[in-house]
Structures are given as structure tokens and as C-alpha cells.
């Protein structure tokens, strides 16, 4: 027959069982937490210095850029930019109001002429293409003056005649163009010249020549040919003139042909009528022709007029007799 243990012993046995169960559970928990650490230790490399933790690398410095903007003619600029970086950079040209007039990209360097509108101030800037970070810029360049008007200079004329008195350079009148010889401006029209002359056309302010214009001419100094003078006219025959003393009727015997008065005056009159000049003969002949042409009608003319009047009267009588 079994004998029961006292109550104290039973309590101690129950406490021992609980402690044993607690120990088993604690051991299982330690085994589960320690297994991954052992597995990692198994694949870990041989013991040695551990690498230092990585630090983030600093951002690279922006590339250095040199940029310039200079006027080119009246409506353009020359943009020059250079950098040691191989990255693609962007350039931009804007006016004083910020309006973009030209833009583009380049690698390494660029040198180009950009056509713009006159009457504005322009600035150029270079920036990174990816981040639009500005790298360099230029001062303002003004294109305020209007573009000149293109004109063409006409060829001047060279009046090269015999001798030198009439040699001249004839300058055309062209708006916006001056013609110079030796630095002196020639007036439009003829300008006296001699020897070798070089004429240069120069544009006035606000104008430009479409092409260089320069002409050279050597004037000749050959003398003009001499024209022979006309031979003296032979003396003509004296006309029969009733007023001429040489053809006058002889004076009666015992009477002088001179009129009363001064003897010197009569002598002078006789000399003038005896030796008339050639022009006086021609004049007197012309006077006789004029007098003959404007005189009264001759006998033939009177006969013709009388015949016409008689014939007209007869015809009128036959028409009206009935």
C-alpha cells in the first residue's frame, strides 16, 4: 500500500517541475536567437581590418568658360566661347528686354556670327545644358546705329580732246557718293584735269558702296591741228553806178565838175566813189535787187491783168444777157 508524501514535499516537487519547464523554454529561445549569428559567422570572410563606411563624393566643380560678344557690321554680332570641359554647354543671346534673339549648344568651343536686328543692346550667356546652371555672361553690346544704304557709283566721263584747255573729268550726280581726286572732292559736272588722274568714289555717311570704285585716265596733250585761214578775196569789178564819178557825163567845157564849196570835200568824195570796198559793192547790188523786186509791175504783168479782166467781163456778160 502506497504512502502519500507530506504536503511540503509535494509543493517542492511541483516547484521543481515548473523550474525545469522554464529552463527548457529558455534554452529553446536562446538556440533560435543564436542560430543566425552562427550562420553569418560561417560565411563571413577571414578576420581582418573591416572596410570603412563609404562617404558621399562631393559634387564636381562647374567648368570654366570664357565668352565674348563683339559687333559684326550693323546687324550682327560675333559670339566666341571656349571651355576645357567636354560637356555640352548652351549659349543664349538676348536683348535688353530679355527676348532671346539666338540660342544653341556647343562642345569645347564655338565661334560664329549671328544676324540680329539693329536698334537693340544684346548680351550673351553660357550655361550647363543639363542643369541650366549659368556659367558666364558678357557685357551689353549695342547695335543702335541703322544699317547704311547700299549704293553703286557710276563711271565718270573723261573729256579728252586735242590740247589741254578742254580736258575735263565729268562727274555724275549720285546720291550718297562723293568723287575724289587726290583727296579733293569734285563737284558734279565737268572738272578741269591734266595728265594722269585717278578718280575714287567714296560713300557718304549713312551709305555704303556695293563694290570698290576707282578709275585712272591719262589725258593726252596733242596739239589741235591748225586750220588754214581763207585766202583774201580778189577785188571785184566795179558796178556800173550812176553815182560813180568815173561814169558820170563829162562836164561842159569851161566848167568844173566840182560843186561850189570846199575842194578837199570834193576830192574825198571822188576817192570814196572810185575805190569802193568789197562790202559796199555787195550792199549796193543787194539794194538794187531789193528795189527791183519791190518795184511796180512791168508791161507783161499789166497785159496779163488787163486780159484777165476783159475775159471776166465777157464771161459775166454771157451769163447775164438772158
Q: pLDDT digits over 235-248, tens only?
A: 555 555 544 444 44
Q: Can you give the pTM of this predicted structure?
A: 0.40
Across the range 53-78, mean pLDDT stands at 80
Task: Provide the grid cell at 109.
Answer: 568651343
pLDDT at 39 over 50: no
Q: What are phi and psi of 285, to 5 degrees?
A: -60, -45
pLDDT score recorded for residue 35: 52
pLDDT score recorded for residue 296: 59
What residue spans in the chain does CATH classification 2.60.40.10 cover?
65-143
pLDDT at 42 over 50: no
Dist. CA 143–CA 96, nearest whole Å? 11
Say which CATH architecture domain 65-143 belongs to.
Answer: Sandwich (2.60)
Reduced to 3 states (helix: H, G, I; strand: E, B; else coil), residue 135 is: strand
pLDDT at 314 over 90: no
Dist. CA 67–CA 138, nearest whole Å? 7
Mean pLDDT, rounded, of the chain:
76
8-state DSSP, 247? G
Position 181 confidence tier, pLDDT thresholds 50, 70, 90: very high
Q: What are phi and psi of 288, to 5 degrees?
A: -65, -35
pLDDT cut 70: percent of the chain above it: 67
Across the range 273-298, mean pLDDT stands at 48
Quick one: which of 244, 231, 238 has its CA closest to 281? 238
Dist. CA 106–CA 89, nearest whole Å? 6
8-state DSSP, 275? S
User: Among 70-79, 163-172, 249-258, which is the least confidently predicted range?
Assistant: 249-258
Exposure letters 181-195 (e unless 16+ CB within 10 A, then b): beeeebeeeebebee
pLDDT score recorded for residue 102: 94
pLDDT at 174 over 70: yes
Across the range 200-226, mean pLDDT stands at 91
Strands, DSSP E only, in the chain? Answer: 65-71, 76-83, 88-95, 100-107, 109-115, 120-128, 134-137, 141-143, 149-151, 157-159, 168-171, 177-181, 184-185, 189-192, 196-203, 207-209, 214-218
pLDDT score recorded for residue 273: 41
pLDDT score recorded for residue 239: 52
Dist. CA 84–CA 234, nearest whole Å? 107
pLDDT at 50 over 70: no
35-39, 234-238, 315-319: range with highest mean pLDDT:
315-319
Amino acid at each position: 500500500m502506497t504512502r502519500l508524501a507530506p504536503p511540503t514535499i509535494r509543493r517542492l516537487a511541483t516547484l521543481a517541475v515548473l523550474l525545469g519547464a522554464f529552463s527548457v523554454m529558455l534554452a529553446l529561445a536562446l538556440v533560435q536567437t543564436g542560430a543566425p549569428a552562427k550562420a553569418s559567422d560561417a560565411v563571413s570572410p577571414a578576420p581582418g581590418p573591416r572596410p570603412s563606411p563609404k562617404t558621399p563624393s562631393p559634387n564636381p566643380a562647374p567648368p570654366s568658360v570664357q565668352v565674348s560678344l563683339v559687333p559684326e557690321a550693323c546687324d550682327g554680332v560675333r559670339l566666341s566661347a571656349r571651355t576645357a570641359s567636354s560637356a555640352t554647354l548652351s549659349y543664349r543671346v538676348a536683348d535688353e528686354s530679355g527676348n532671346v534673339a539666338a540660342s544653341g549648344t556647343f562642345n569645347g568651343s564655338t565661334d560664329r556670327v549671328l544676324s540680329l536686328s539693329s536698334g537693340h543692346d544684346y548680351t550673351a550667356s553660357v550655361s550647363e545644358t543639363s542643369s541650366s546652371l549659368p556659367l558666364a555672361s558678357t557685357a551689353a553690346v549695342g547695335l543702335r546705329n541703322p544699317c547704311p544704304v547700299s549704293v553703286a557709283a557710276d563711271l565718270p566721263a573723261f573729256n579728252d580732246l586735242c590740247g589741254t584747255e578742254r580736258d575735263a573729268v565729268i562727274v555724275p550726280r549720285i546720291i550718297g557718293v562723293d568723287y575724289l581726286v587726290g583727296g579733293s572732292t569734285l563737284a558734279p559736272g565737268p572738272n578741269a584735269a591734266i595728265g594722269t588722274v585717278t578718280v575714287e568714289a567714296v560713300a557718304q555717311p549713312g551709305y555704303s558702296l556695293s563694290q570698290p570704285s576707282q578709275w585712272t585716265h591719262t589725258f593726252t596733250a596733242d596739239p589741235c591741228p591748225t586750220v588754214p585761214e581763207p585766202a583774201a578775196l580778189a577785188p571785184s569789178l566795179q558796178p556800173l553806178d550812176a553815182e560813180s564819178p568815173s561814169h558820170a557825163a563829162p562836164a561842159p567845157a569851161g566848167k568844173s565838175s566840182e560843186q561850189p564849196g570846199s575842194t578837199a570835200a570834193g576830192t574825198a568824195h571822188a576817192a570814196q566813189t572810185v575805190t569802193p570796198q568789197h562790202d559796199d559793192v555787195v550792199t549796193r547790188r543787194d539794194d538794187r535787187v531789193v528795189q527791183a523786186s519791190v518795184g511796180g509791175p512791168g508791161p507783161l504783168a499789166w497785159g496779163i491783168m488787163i486780159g484777165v479782166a476783159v475775159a471776166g467781163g465777157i464771161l459775166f456778160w454771157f451769163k447775164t444777157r438772158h
